[in-house]
Amino acid sequence: MSALLRVENLRTYFHTRSGIVRAVDDISFSVGEGETLGIVGESGSGKSVACYSLLRLIPQPPGRIESGEARFGDCDLLHCREEKLRAIRGNRISMIFQDPMSSLNPYLRIGEQVIEPLLIHKLASPNDAFDLGVAALREVGIQDAAKRMRSFPHEFSGGMRQRVMIAMALITKPELLLADEPTTALDVTVQAQILELIRRLQQEHGTAVIFVTHDIGVVSGFCDRVLVMYAGRVLESGPTAELFYEPKHPYNQALQRSIPALHERGAELHTIPGAPPDVTQPIRGCPFAPRCEFAEEKCITSEIALKEVTTGHATACLRVQLGEIDLTPAAVAGE
C-alpha cells in the first residue's frame, strides 16, 4: 500500500495566556490509499488538533504549527501556499465534524451547502451541481432528497444533519476523509447507522479515512490501523487486531480494561488512576509514567521514542521495547 499522506514530526502548540499548550508534540504517521486509520485518545490528548492541523484549520493565533511536514502527493499541507491548500480542502481532502448541530450554517439552505464544494472547486455547473447534490443526499439515505435541498439545517435531526455533512464531504469524491468524532454527539442507535454509512461509502468510493475518536470500541470494528494518542504524543500504533490482542503499551492495556464488557457482568470496572499531565509544562520521559503501574526510574529520566517492536506495530513504552514486560492477555493471565 503506497502512502497517500505521510506526516512527520508534527508539532502544534497553542500560545495562551497561561502558557504554551503543547497540544500535539512531535507525532508521525501515514495513511495509505483507501486505508482507515483510527486515532484514539482521551479528550485533550491532541487527536482532534492533529486532525485540524493537517488542513491548517486550527485557530491561528493562538494555535501555531511549530514544525513538521504532511506530504500529500506533491504538496506539504503544512507549508504550501494558502491557495494551493484551499484547492485541496473540500476537494481532495474533506472533513466531517463532531457536532452536526453547529457545523452546518443555519442561515443557508441544505442544498446550497451540500453543493458548495462542487462550485468552489468548479467541478460542476450550478445546474449539474443541483442534481449531484440530490443524488448525494439520496446516497446518504435522506428521503425526498430533491425537496429537502430547500430545507434549512434546523429542520433536520442531529443524525440527519450528520448525514448531510457526510454527503457534503464526499460529493467531490475526495481521496481522504478526516472524521473528527463524527458519532460522539449522536444517540447510540444513530451512531451505528452513521458508522455503517461511512464504511459503506468509503468502500464504494475507495476513500481513505482518518477516524478520530475517544471510543476505542468504535475503532475495533472500523479501522485498519490505530494510533493511540496521549498528552500530544503517539504511545502506540499498529494494526487494529494486534492492538487489541497484543497491546504493547500499558496505557492501551489500561484503556481496554476500562471498557465495560457485556460478558463480564458483575466484574469490577477498571479505571486509570490519576489524571492526564499538564501539557503546558514540558514533559520529561514517558507522559504516562505517573499513572503507570509498570513505571520505573528510567521511564522518567530517559528520552522516549516510538519504536517498532514487531512489523508495523510500534510502541513508545521503554520497558516493552527492552523486552522487560509483556502485556499480551495470555502473558498477563499466566502471571
Partner 1 sequence: MLRFIAIRLAQAIPVLFVVATLTFFMLKLAPGGPFSAEKSTTPEIQKQLEAHYGLNKPLFSQYLTYLGNVVKGDLGPSFKYPNRTVNELIGQAFPVSAELGFWSLLVALSLGLSAGIVASLRPNTLTDYIPSGLAMVGICLPIFVLGPLLVLVFALKLEWVRVSGWDDWIDRILPALTLGGFYAAYIARLTRGGMLEILSQDFIRTARAKGASPARVVLRHSLRGGLIPVVSYLGPTVAGLLTGSFVVETIFQIPGLGRYFVTAAFNRDYTMVVGTVLFYAGFIIVFNLLVDLVLVRMNPKLSYE
The site for partner 1 (CB under 8 A) is made up of 55, 57, 86-91, 94-95, 97, 99, 102-108, 116-117, 120-121, 152, 154, 165, 168
C-alpha grid cell, residue 305: 521514542
Residue 163 beta carbon to partner 1: minimum distance, rounded to whole angstroms: 15
Residue 71 beta carbon to partner 1: minimum distance, rounded to whole angstroms: 19
Residue 103 beta carbon to partner 1: minimum distance, rounded to whole angstroms: 5
Toward partner 1, which CB reaches closer, 75 or 325? 75
Residue 153, SS3 per DSSP: helix
Distance of CA 119 to the CA centre of its chain: 27
Toward partner 1, which CB reaches closer, 178 or 283? 178
Toward partner 1, which CB reaches closer, 165 or 320? 165
Toward partner 1, which CB reaches closer, 183 or 315? 183
**75, containing H or E segment:** strand 75-76
Chain position carrying cell 451505528: 192
In order, the DSSP letters of 130-150 are: HHHHHHHHHHTT-TTHHHHTT
CB 65 within 8 A of CB 238: no
Residue 329 beta carbon to partner 1: minimum distance, rounded to whole angstroms: 40
In sequence order, what are the residues at sequence separation of 6 or more whose Cβ sits closer than 8 angstroms to the Cβ of residue 208?
4, 5, 31, 32, 33, 34, 35, 36, 37, 175, 176, 177
Toward partner 1, which CB reaches closer, 11 or 121? 121
Residue 158 beta carbon to partner 1: minimum distance, rounded to whole angstroms: 14
